[in-house]
Amino acid sequence: MFVGSVIIRTCRRKGCDMKRRDLLKNIILFIPVSGAFRATIQAAQANSDLNGYHPENHYYGMGIEVAKCIGCGKCIEACKIENNVPREPFFFRTWVERYIIKKDSSVAVESIHTGGKQPKETIEEKDILRSFFVPKTCNQCANPPCVQVCPVGATFSTDDGVVLVDRDRCIGCRYCIQACPFGARYLHPQTRTADKCTFCYHRVVKGLLPACVEVCPTQARIFGDLRSRASELVRFQRMNKIHVLKPYLNTEPKVYYSGLDGVVN
């Protein structure tokens, strides 16, 4: 229909006398021709550009061993450097939460900051029953609610299981930020578009580890390919009791936790 209106408009401007029959003929001809054209281009593009990387052969996930995290915040810093995330502590693609369970069984949670003062709770050490850090990031859900709600289709899952945002399409409506049950998205203050963890997609396709995994000093984060039985992540899943965040929401997260405490949500 769009093509038809274009033709009609050009006709009017040029004053030509195209018959309705010609118009219909053109439209009917246009559909298969354009389809074939597009298919050719797609076929040509399919194996170029990514330097021999085939997304359909991979399916990425992350493992997190809670007991190993020392809360140093190196992952947060590295992520900000690698991905141009604003330096302010309230913008982050990945973050680390400190859980303090007190002897009266109340729970205090805070997101740790890097560089500068910690917003430390005034909890006496003798009141602490147990305490630990939980690294969090986008869960790259297999069934992502953020993708469902996007009104313009700007966010989508890739073949290798990473949820990406198209910065040119995103209109900054914040629906996805609201829809994410894990709070993994934020509105980038410069581009005014939604931004989130991409598993460092630009590194992964080149065979490098995501920046947070690369710098983690205690191997609390494990990155790997779920399609490969030899990957570290599959080994991690084999050797540990695994839990995911908010399993009851059926978003099927691909960030797997071992040793996750029941109070974490």
Partner 1 sequence: MPKKVPEQIIRLGIVISIIFGSVALTLYLLPPALKDKPFHRRSTILAETAKPIQFAGSNACADCHDDKYQQKKTGYHRNLSCETCHGPAAEHAADPITIKPFVARERRGCPTCHEYDPSRPTGFPQINPTIHNPLQPCVTCHNPHDPVPPRTPEECAACHAGIVRTKAISSHALVACTTCHTVPEKHKITPRIIRPTKPETRDFCGKCHAKGAPVVDAPKIDLSTHWEKYVCWQCHYPHLPAERL
Asked whether position 38 contacts partner 1 by CB under 8 A, the answer is yes
* CB closer to partner 1 out of 169 and 247: 169
Query: Which positions from 56 to 95 touch partner 1 by CB under 8 A, shown as an x/- string?
Result: -----------xxxxxxxx---x--xxx------------
Of 151-159, 173-181, 183-191, 250-258: span binding partner 1 (CB under 8 A): 151-159
Site membership for partner 1, residue 190 (CB under 8 A): no
Report in angstroms how near the CB of residue 53 gets to partner 1 at its nearest.
8
CB 125 to partner 1: min, Å = 5
Question: Does the protein bind partner 1 through residue 183 (CB under 8 A)?
Answer: no
Counting contacts by CB under 8 A, is residue 198 touching partner 1?
A: yes
Say whether residue 197 binds partner 1 (CB under 8 A).
no
What DSSP string describes the chain? Answer: -HHHHHHHHHHHHHT----HHHHHHHHHHHHHHHHHHHHHHHHHHHTSSSTT--GGG--EEEEEEGGG-----HHHHHHHHHHT--SSTT--SEEEEEEEEETTS-EEEEE--SSS--------GGGEEEEEEEEEE----SS-HHHHH-TT--EEE-TTS-EEE-TTT-----HHHHH-TT---EE-TTT-SEE---SSHHHHTTTPPPHHHHH-TT--EEEEETT-TTSHHHHHHHHS-EE-SSGGG----SEEEES--TT--
What residues make contact with partner 1 under the rule CB under 8 A?
A: 31, 35, 38-39, 42, 45, 49-50, 55, 67-74, 78, 81-83, 98-100, 125, 128, 131-133, 153, 156, 158, 164-169, 198, 201-203, 205-206, 208-209, 211, 214-219
